[in-house]
């Protein structure tokens, strides 16, 4: 099994995906263990002094003015975990919780948190055992980090609360730890706070969304090209020299992908022979501009994620010179903004895809295709309601594009008076990514049927490869009306699994 080694300088997006989705094992590097021990010595020294230090010998948030005596400090750390594990609502997905735990471990191993090496090792042991804390949908304001979700994870380390075992059953965490020979941790000064105070949930969801959207943007380039082909559009607008004079990188990459898919098609531009069109509609002609802008948004979000992956997010932090300082680095604004940006870009990509689908189904705009791509229009409804479903998804995408990060609800008796709502931005982005996958699947279904209905003209070799692959995957071609939901589900699985991009790349080579 693949192993990810956690050091002091952060981790990569690939590491997060390997642990969250691939079940990779986690190990602590000797460098990390040494850094943990060194930072802990500093915290222990401060704990022994009479002077109050936030997070070490004081309460938290609005209660930070109280100095806590030594005999109550272990109870203080237990209490912050128990009281902050206040999430409600549906369970969060296993991959999100594993990303959340792994990223908190990443910060702990930086040597800036003051957590003992044995606590970090227990975090790795829980991940490696396949034990997943039960974390709930609601409870994070994205500042101070993802408090409630992280608290539920810390509760599992203490052997309390519920968790999911490797077999998928939910049981008391203490039982699961015992079965895997893991000793529950007894938290000491600062450790409870250090386990809760980070942007790990929103960052984990950002990293997974970036991976999914990378595939979906390539998929959208493919379906846009297929729709252009089915509509007998022109590929001249994809010429590199046109995109070179507006040099947005994403736009150029998207146009290049579409051009690669369409290479060798007998359908593109055919309308110029018998039914001249000066220009194709915006949804066809401007596909690279819209998808390209989204790609550039992805690039910016990836930069933010990389910076956050290299960060140590905690409050207070242990500095190399021995100071333990309070700070505001837990604020989720940098991550929250890009999560919202991505939801906006995804909504627009879904919107333009739906417009192309609608064009394919309208006999007045499809340039010779049958109404709704039906076998016997009137008797058959064809893909009429598939487009309704797609439109409903697009409508929800637009609602999900409303920024969460523009909101703030003060908390902790006005001590935490401006919050990021980054967790909420991440949760709605996950729904948006799911919906975008389905929207692209419907366009794929309509465009491949439209191409097959163009008798006498051969599609591009890459398009033909897609048609053969999607039919082999159980998505049926033209014909009389049938139960449509299974076809749409199969198309969704085809796109979701990356098979659309893979089918094209057997002809084109790697897409950009």
Active site residues: 54
426, with CB counted inside 10 A (0-12, 13-18, 19+), is buried
Closest alpha carbon to 436 in 110, 243, 217, 253 = 217
Beta carbons within 8 Å of 91's beta carbon, 6+ residues apart = 134, 135, 136, 137
Helix (H) or strand (E) holding 500: helix 499-508
Beta carbons within 8 Å of 90's beta carbon, 6+ residues apart = 136, 137
Report residue 104 as tokens: 């908190």
**CA 191 to CA 107: how far, in whole Å?**
13
**CA 224 to CA 298: how far, in whole Å?**
19
**CA 293 to CA 301: how far, in whole Å?**
12
**CA 29 to CA 31: how far, in whole Å?**
5
HSE-up (13 A, CA, CB side) for residue 28: 26
According to DSSP, the β-strands at 170-172 and 162-164 are antiparallel
Residue 405 Cα to chain centre, angstroms: 16
Report residue 85 as tokens: 């594990």
What totals of helices (H) and strands (E) does the chain contain, helices first? 20, 9
Q: By the 8 A CB rule, do 69 and 76 touch?
A: no
Q: By the 8 A CB rule, do 432 and 439 touch?
A: no
* CA geometry: angle 311, 12, 97, nearest 5 deg: 80
Q: DSSP character for 387? A: H
Q: By the 8 A CB rule, do 345 and 297 touch?
A: yes
Q: By the 8 A CB rule, do 315 and 327 touch?
A: yes
According to DSSP, the β-strands at 170-172 and 136-138 are unpaired
Which residues are bridge partners to 377 per DSSP? 380
Q: DSSP character for 371? A: G
Report residue 312 as tokens: 């140590």
Helix (H) or strand (E) holding 324: strand 324-325
């Amino acid at each position: 099994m693949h192993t990810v080694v956690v050091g002091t300088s952060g981790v990569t997006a690939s590491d997060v995906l390997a642990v969250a989705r691939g079940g990779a094992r986690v190990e602590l590097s000797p460098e990390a263990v040494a850094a943990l021990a060194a930072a802990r010595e500093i915290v222990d020294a401060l704990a022994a002094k009479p002077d109050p230090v936030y997070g070490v010998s004081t309460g938290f948030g609005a209660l930070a003015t109280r100095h806590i005596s030594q005999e109550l400090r272990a109870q203080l750390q237990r209490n912050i975990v128990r009281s902050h594990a206040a999430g409600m609502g549906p369970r969060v997905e296993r991959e999100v919780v594993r990303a959340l735990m792994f990223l908190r471990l990443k910060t702990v191993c930086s040597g800036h948190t003051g957590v003992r090496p044995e606590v970090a090792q227990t975090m790795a042991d829980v991940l490696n055992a396949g034990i997943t804390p039960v974390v709930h949908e609601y409870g994070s304001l994205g500042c101070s980090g993802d408090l409630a979700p992280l608290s539920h994870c810390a509760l599992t380390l203490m052997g309390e609360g519920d968790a999911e075992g490797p077999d998928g059953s939910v049981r008391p965490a203490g039982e699961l730890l015992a079965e895997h020979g893991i000793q529950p941790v007894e938290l000491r000064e600062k450790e409870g706070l250090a386990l809760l105070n980070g942007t790990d949930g929103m960052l984990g969801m950002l990293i997974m969304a970036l991976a999914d959207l990378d595939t979906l943007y390539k998929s959208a380039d493919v379906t846009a090209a297929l729709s252009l082909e089915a509509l007998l559009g022109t590929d001249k607008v994809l010429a590199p020299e046109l995109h070179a004079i507006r040099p947005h990188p994403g736009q150029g990459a998207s146009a290049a992908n579409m051009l690669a898919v369409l290479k060798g098609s007998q359908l593109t531009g055919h309308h110029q022979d018998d039914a001249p069109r000066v220009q194709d509609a915006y949804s066809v002609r401007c596909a690279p501009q819209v998808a390209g802008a989204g790609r550039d948004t992805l690039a910016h979000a990836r930069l933010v994620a990389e910076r956050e992956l290299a960060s140590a997010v905690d409050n207070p932090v242990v500095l190399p010179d021995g100071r333990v300082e309070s700070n505001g680095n837990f604020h989720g604004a940098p991550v929250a903004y890009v999560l919202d940006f991505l939801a906006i870009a995804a909504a627009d990509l879904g919107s333009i895809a739906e417009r192309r689908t609608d064009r394919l189904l309208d006999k007045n705009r499809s340039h010779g295709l049958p109404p709704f791509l039906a076998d016997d229009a009137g008797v058959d409804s064809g893909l009429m309601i598939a487009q309704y479903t797609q439109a409903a998804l697009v409508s929800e995408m637009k609602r999900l594009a409303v920024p969460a990060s523009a909101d703030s609800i003060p908390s902790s008796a006005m001590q935490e008076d401006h919050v990021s709502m980054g967790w909420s931005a991440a949760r709605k982005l996950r729904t948006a990514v799911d919906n975008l996958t389905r929207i692209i699947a419907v366009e794929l279904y309509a465009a491949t049927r439209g191409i097959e209905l163009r008798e006498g003209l051969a599609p591009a070799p890459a398009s033909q490869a897609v048609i053969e692959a999607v039919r082999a995957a159980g998505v049926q071609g033209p014909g009389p009306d049938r139960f449509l939901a299974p076809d749409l589900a199969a198309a969704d699985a085809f796109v979701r699994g990356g098979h659309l991009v893979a089918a094209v790349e057997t002809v084109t080579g790697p897409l950009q």
